[in-house]
């Protein structure tokens, strides 16, 4: 049985990841800031009570990461896949409009989107080392590609994903010695609360592709920037 940890599991991409892994029979540690208010996630856990475990984890707060790590360490002796999915993209001109940018809200986004995945990976590294062909998958975006944003961008969200991409390259170099494969992955433009109704991909299709990419990873893919369908993306 695979052991999977997913952050940001209460909706959208994270929820669909939890659903598909649970359907496969994996043991899923589904985390989010407030599991008590995550109705769809609760329904999933009730349907798979033997293998879906809900854990509170706010990636923007180190103390929450530490508490979640302590909880999960007590429930498993290893992790096979860590998916750092949690992210925020507030609709706030202080984050995206030149002339109105402010440092504090920008830093709040960076804590969740960029720094959080590194701290989560660090907190669970020992469980990953004891996993079977362990993988770390950081969910990024085409918005984080410098080449694809040559004509300008929305500032904070784009910068947070570009920073995540570099952090992933650093993690890949660090964890390779332990046999852990680390990649950054673009799920595509998905119909979620964040992606909006005009997005081109259904969550089910994107996640089905992501699981296939994760299944097929080899050490040669370590540090890669991949799309949901396996295509390599430019940095």
> Which residues have a catalytic role annotated?
157
Rounded distance between C-alpha atoms, residue 105 and residue 92, angstroms: 9
Rounded distance between C-alpha atoms, residue 130 and residue 128, angstroms: 5
Rounded distance between C-alpha atoms, residue 220 and residue 206, angstroms: 23
The CA-atom distances, in angstroms, between 101 and each of 93, 150, 152 are: 7, 20, 15
Beta bridge partners of 153: none
**Unique residue bearing structure tokens 């649970």:** 22
Measured in degrees and rounded to the nearest 5, phi and psi for residue 62 equal -55, -35
Residue 169, SS3? helix
Q: Which helix (H) or strand (E) holds 6?
A: strand 3-6
Rounded distance between C-alpha atoms, residue 68 and residue 132, angstroms: 21
User: Is the CB of residue 29 less than 8 Å from the CB of residue 72?
Assistant: yes
């Amino acid at each position: 049985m695979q052991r999977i940890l997913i952050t940001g599991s209460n909706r959208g991409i994270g929820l669909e990841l939890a659903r598909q892994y649970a359907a496969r029979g994996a043991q899923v540690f589904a985390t989010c800031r407030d599991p008590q208010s995550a109705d769809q996630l609760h329904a999933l856990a009730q349907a798979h009570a033997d293998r879906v475990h809900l854990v509170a984890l706010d990636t923007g707060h180190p103390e929450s990461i530490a508490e979640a790590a302590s909880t999960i360490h007590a429930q498993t002796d290893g992790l096979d896949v860590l998916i750092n999915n949690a992210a925020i993209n507030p609709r706030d001109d202080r984050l995206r409009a030149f002339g109105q940018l402010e440092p504090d809200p920008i830093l709040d986004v960076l804590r969740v989107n960029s720094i959080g995945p590194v701290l989560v990976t660090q907190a669970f590294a020992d469980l990953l080392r004891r996993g079977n062909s362990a993988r770390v998958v950081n969910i990024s975006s085409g918005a984080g590609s410098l080449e694809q944003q040559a004509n300008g961008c929305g500032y904070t969200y784009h910068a947070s994903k570009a920073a995540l991409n570099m952090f992933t390259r650093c993690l890949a170099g660090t964890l390779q010695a332990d046999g852990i494969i680390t990649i950054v992955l673009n799920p595509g433009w998905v119909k979620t609360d964040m992606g909006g109704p005009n997005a081109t991909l259904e969550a089910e299709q994107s996640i089905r592709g992501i699981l296939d990419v994760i299944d097929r990873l080899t050490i040669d893919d370590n540090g890669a920037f991949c799309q949901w369908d396996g295509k390599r993306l430019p940095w």
